[in-house]
Structure 1
Amino acid sequence: MSVPDAAASVFGDELGRATAYADLLATRGLEWGLMGPREVDRIWDRHVLNSVAVGHAIAPGASVVDVGSGAGLPGIPLALARPDLRVTLLEPLLRRANFLTGVVEELGLGERVEVVRGRAVGPDDKDPLGHHAQYDVVTSRAVAALPRLLAWCVPLMAPTGSIVALKGSSAAGEVSDAAADVARHRLKAEAIPVTTHDGADPTWLVVCTR
């Protein structure tokens, strides 16, 4: 699998680990059922480079939780592109959590990336896997529609925190449709187009703040 030229500018000194991660997605990720066969040729552009887009809305030194991390997207590429961040990969499924733990160990990211087997829940939820910590930024990628995502993510937000969700081109419409839910959580939401590198198609973020 060839490494795109843009990867060097995005990952800099971490290009080697980013390449190793992309290779893990294309091999073990495929074997474990975390990536579909059709995704292998699109791992760099659609998954690894695309995930870095969330970093455009994250301040230096922030603590970040990746909700429903799955194969580590966007959390692992974000951690590689932004070594200043402390990233928690939150994943309820044991198989996926084991995959993430192995990847973090193999890439040597343990000092700034933590894997937690758990799920985002409300503050009064008694789910044994419920995760109740709070973070500067709560991020996600292709997890759920905005109303459900807010219910999961708002309890994880620090008092001055934000939600930064990777969405598709319909992000603005999703924000408009969820206006009542956004207001109920006493948040402000906006859809923001960003590009991860020169020549890339825009990626949309939904950013929610108090």
Structure 2
Amino acid sequence: MNADQSASRDELQAGLVALALDTAIATPLLAYLSLLDRWNRTYNLTAIRDPRDMVSRHLLDSLAMHAYVRDVATLADLGTGPGLPGIPLAIAVPSLQVTLVESNGKKARFLREAVRSLGLGNARVAETRAEALDEPGAYAAITARALATLADILAVGGHLLAPGGRLLAMKGARPDEEIAALPTGWRLQAIHPLAVPGLAAERHLVIVERSGD
């Protein structure tokens, strides 16, 4: 292990402790990061190229919402890109069944290789656009880390939610304008500030559910 790898592991383990997660998951998380780093050199899967930046901005940022999926059975991660937040969450919460929804072919190929090489029996890849995923009502939750507005996410993925299902949207600054523009039939259930170890930027988890109207 070189100095950069050692520093990444130390930073990740400290972040996992801060998030009240088992540090044993650092090993599969770093294996995922190593695979992403290798593929990124050829396929440009993410603009973040420094592995230490990936620890905070990819892994820990994704894992900051782990407490809100622990009681969720099924999660569809829409526009997951290279698997964020879906793969870190699948590693951290083995009881969670994650569908990684990604229409880009090269990213979907990477996702399939990551699921295979990491042995993630609780993750699967759906190479399709979210609105074309023909699994209505199949999910207890959907999430999207960097995909459009709340209204847009619901427009393409709302059909996937089971009765009582929720959108868990990862946002930066509190998106009050997006909340005010929620479409008819949906309402804000909660908004939670998230603390991401190693990041000073604002993060919020916005939870949206169907209204009783």
TM class by smaller structure: 0.7 to 0.9
Partner of residue 146 from structure 1, selected from 146, 150, 153: 150
Residue aligning to 2:128: 118
TM-score normalised per structure 2: 0.83
Counterpart of 1:60 in 2: which secondary structure?
Answer: coil
Residue aligning to 1:132: 135
Q: Please give the alpha-carbon distance, in whole angstroms, between the structure 2 residues aligned to 1:37 and 1:208.
A: 29
Q: Please give the alpha-carbon distance, in whole angstroms, between the structure 2 residues aligned to 1:58 and 1:18.
A: 18
Paired residues for 1:56-95 under 5 Å: 56-95=67-106
Residue aligning to 2:195: 195
**Closer, same or farther in 2 for the Cα pair 1:75/1:37, shift >3 Å?**
closer
Residue aligning to 1:186: 186
Deviation at residue 200 of structure 1 after TM alignment: 5.6
User: In terms of mean alpha carbon deviation, does 186-195 or 134-143 score higher?
Assistant: 186-195
Counterpart of 2:204 in 1: which secondary structure?
Answer: strand
Residue aligning to 2:162: 158
**Closer, same or farther in 2 for the Cα pair 1:39/1:162, shift >3 Å?**
farther
Q: Which whole-Å deviations, capped at 9, do the CAs of 1:83-113 have from their partners, x for residues lacking one? A: 121111011122111110001111111x211
Q: Please give the alpha-carbon distance, in whole angstroms, between the structure 1 residues aligned to 2:92 and 2:196.
A: 11
Number of residue pairs aligned between Structure 1 and Structure 2 = 197
Q: Please give the alpha-carbon distance, in whole angstroms, between the structure 2 residues aligned to 1:72 and 1:138.
A: 14
- The answer to whether the Cα contact below 8 Å between 2:25 and 2:91 also exists between their aligned partners in 1 is yes
What percentage of residue pairs aligned between the two structures are identical? 32
TM-score normalised per structure 1: 0.84
**Closer, same or farther in 2 for the Cα pair 1:173/1:114, shift >3 Å?**
same
**Closer, same or farther in 2 for the Cα pair 1:15/1:59, shift >3 Å?**
closer
Output the amino acid matched with 2:42. Answer: E
